[in-house]
Amino acid sequence: MPADDGFDREPDPLFESVEPSGGDRIFERRELVTIDHLPTEDRIVGRDEQIRMIAGEIGPAVSGAPPNSVMIYGKTGSGKSLVAKHVVQRSEREATRRGNALATGYANCSQAKGNSDTLQQLGEQITPADSSVTFPERGISENEYFNRLWTVLDEQYDAAVFILDEIDRLKNDDILMILSRAAESGSVSTPIGVIAISNKINYREQMSERTKSSFGHTEYVFDPYDATQLREILANRTDAFKNGTLEDGVIPRAAALGAKEHGDARKAMRLLRYAGDYAKNNGADTVREEHLLEVRASAEAERLRDLVSGLPSHSRHVLNGLAALTKQNEERQWFRTTQIIDAYERVCRKEGVDTLTKDRVRQLLKELAFLEVTENRSNHGGKGTGSYKEHRLMWDAETVSRMHSRS
Ligand SMILES: Nc1ncnc2c1ncn2[C@@H]1O[C@H](COP(=O)(O)OP(=O)(O)OP(=O)(O)O)[C@@H](O)[C@H]1O
């Protein structure tokens, strides 16, 4: 820009709230309340026992000995990914201190496009820049990804620990089985431990017997947090905000909202961040409880979108059909499968898409219940009625429609 265009002399009011440090008048360190931020040990609340247990399972890897593989189950936002990443980060540090090379990798299977993509991500993370082995995004078979992974591990490392998050999103458990049994089967001499994470306690049923036997004795279930724990989790991040900008009632209220249905730290954290953004964008000097209420609907819609992302688009049509039924029948919450299928078909007609078979819709409903977006119960009707299934939305119908309209 030329210097004399007049724009570089006066501050532009458009960027008035941006301080020279890059901060703003509400946040000091906004990254502390972002979901992907990995907090330091002193900010992790109430998971000491789980951290110790998982460290106990994968621990031998720090000295190059075979680690155990571990399965972690728990509801969304219960700290599963955090604990896994924290333990792995510390194990890598300890291995280095002991003079051992520990390969560590993380893949979120809900974002990966299948087995090959997951392997590609892990391979890329552990391959040194000067290695002759590469992990291209496409063009090689799943088998070849494995072969390359074995080559890198054998050439460069004494042991490996991989985190596979949201493992239930992969079509099958081949990766879980092959990685956890690789050393035993002679494919690679570097011992490998896997920490697999799932929201679905029923995932066990989808596992093959061989995979089950690798993980059978090392399963951990994380309980949801209560409001007191959520309050402590949020209180440990208050330095994300500038001194004096967070009013007293905000953290307890965000924690109470996060604890509704089940204690979800992800939901509570997102509410706090959105309230801060709202205060900043609306010229408020402090973050107040009422700001939480302003952002609640969009924070919940975002959260729900996280949960259903990766599901087929027809799951959203089913959900939207159920939301429409719920809104039309305020006094009722439970609806029979056949009513939901009719509502789903109406959504499909409106969207101009072909409908799936009734059996497939039943499967989609099952998946939604696994994710706790809906719940179901069996009704053993009286004589002549037979038994039937009913379903209920576990989320506010308005939130579901809002998510649908924005996706
Ligand atoms: N015990 C805790 N102490 C401090 N922060 C926590 C704790 N548990 C969770 N958090 C924070 O809450 C957010 C969600 O946690 P995390 O991603 O570990 O949950 P999750 O159980 O893996 O959920 P999902 O199944 O949805 O992936 C993260 O930002 C994390 O830092």
- State pLDDT tens for residues 304-336: 887 787 778 899 999 999 999 999 988 888 999
CATH topology of domain 41-222: Rossmann fold (3.40.50)
Give the domain ranges of the chain: 41-222, 225-310, 313-406
Measured in angstroms, how far is the CA atom of residue 195 from the centroid of ligand 1?
16
Asked whether the beta carbons of 47 and 229 are under 8 A apart, the reply is: no
Best residue for ligand 1 mutational test, from 76, 81, 163, 308 (most atoms within 8 Å of Cβ): 81
pLDDT value, residue 407: 42
In the sheet that 335-336 helps form, which strands lie side by side, from edge to edge? 335-336, 387-393, 374-380
- Give me 393's structure tokens: 């939305």
Counting runs of H as helices and runs of E as strands, what totals does the chain give?
15, 8
d(CA 24, CA 30): 9
**Residue 22 backbone class (left: φ over 0; alpha: ψ -120 to 50; beta: rest):** left
SS3 label, residue 389: strand
Radius of gyration of the chain (CA): 24
Digit-by-digit pLDDT tens for the chain (407 residues) are 455 555 566 777 777 766 666 667 899 988 899 888 889 888 999 999 999 999 999 999 999 999 999 999 998 889 999 999 999 999 999 999 999 999 999 999 987 778 899 999 999 999 999 899 999 998 899 999 999 999 999 999 999 999 999 998 888 888 999 998 888 888 899 999 999 999 887 787 778 888 887 776 788 999 989 999 999 999 999 999 999 999 999 999 999 988 886 788 988 999 999 999 999 989 899 999 999 998 988 888 887 887 787 778 899 999 999 999 999 988 888 999 999 999 999 999 999 999 999 999 999 998 888 777 898 998 876 666 678 899 999 888 888 887 765 44
Asked whether the beta carbons of 64 and 191 are under 8 A apart, the reply is: yes
String of DSSP letters for 167-182? GGGSSSSHHHHHHHHH
Q: Kindly give, in sequence order, each residue whose CB lies less than 8 Å from that of residue 195, ignoring residues fewer than 6 positions away.
A: 54, 58, 69, 70, 72, 84, 87, 88, 161, 162, 163, 164
Q: Does domain 225-310 have CATH number 3.40.120.10?
A: no
Asked whether the beta carbons of 336 and 346 are under 8 A apart, the reply is: no
Amino acid code (one letter) for 382:
G
Measured in angstroms, how far is the CA atom of residue 300 from the centroid of ligand 1?
16
Domain 313-406, CATH among 1.10.150.170, 1.10.10.10, 3.40.50.300, 2.60.320.10? 1.10.10.10
d(CA 73, CA 223): 9
pTM of the prediction? 0.81
- Give me 239's structure tokens: 């330095």
Q: Report which protein residue has its CA nearest ligand 1's atom 23.
A: 77
pLDDT value, residue 406: 45
| Residue 79 Cβ < 6 Å to ligand 1 | yes
Measured in angstroms, how far is the CA atom of residue 265 from the centroid of ligand 1?
6
pLDDT value, residue 183: 81
Q: E strands, 173-295, where?
A: 192-198, 219-222
Measured in angstroms, how far is the CA atom of residue 317 from the centroid of ligand 1?
29
Asked whether the beta carbons of 165 and 107 are under 8 A apart, the reply is: yes
d(CA 400, CA 304): 8
d(CA 347, CA 401): 12
| Residue 229 Cβ < 6 Å to ligand 1 | no
SS3 label, residue 385: coil
pLDDT value, residue 308: 81
Chain centroid to CA 290: 28
pLDDT value, residue 112: 72
